[in-house]
Amino acid sequence: MYFRSDGVILSSRNFGEADKILRIFTKDHGKISVLAKGVRRPKSKKGGHVEIGNWCKIFVANGKSLDLLTEVELKKAFGHENLTYEKNAKIFHILELVDMLSQEHQKNFTVYKLLVQYLDKINKVNNFNLISSIFKVKLLSNLGFFSAKTLNAKNAKKVITILEDDDFEKIEAKVKLDKPSYLKLLKFLDSMIETIADKQFKTARFLK
Check: CB of residue 101 under 8 Å from CB of residue 135. Answer: no
Residues pairing with 7 in the sheet: 26, 56
| Average confidence score pLDDT of the chain | 91
CB atoms within 10 A of CB 15: 16
pTM of the prediction? Answer: 0.93
CB 49 within 8 Å of CB 79: no
CA distance linking residue 90 with residue 78, whole number of Å: 11
> How would residue 203 be classed by pLDDT, with cut points 50, 70 and 90?
confident
Third-level CATH fold of 81-197: de novo design (two linked rop proteins) (1.20.1440)
pLDDT digits (tens, 9 = 90+) for 86-139: 888 899 999 999 999 999 999 999 999 999 999 999 988 889 999 999 999 999
User: Half-sphere exposure of residue 83, counting CA atoms within 13 Å on the CB side?
Assistant: 8
CATH 2.40.50.140 in the chain is located at 2-79
**Phi/psi at 166 (nearest 5 deg)?**
-90, 165
Beta-bridge partners for 1: none
Q: What is the pLDDT of residues 25-44, one digit of tens each?
A: 999 999 999 999 999 998 88
CATH 1.20.1440.120 residue spans of the chain: 81-197
Indicate the CATH number for domain 2-79: 2.40.50.140
Distance CA(104)–CA(2), nearest Å, equals: 18
Q: Give the pairing of strands 19-26 and 2-15.
A: antiparallel
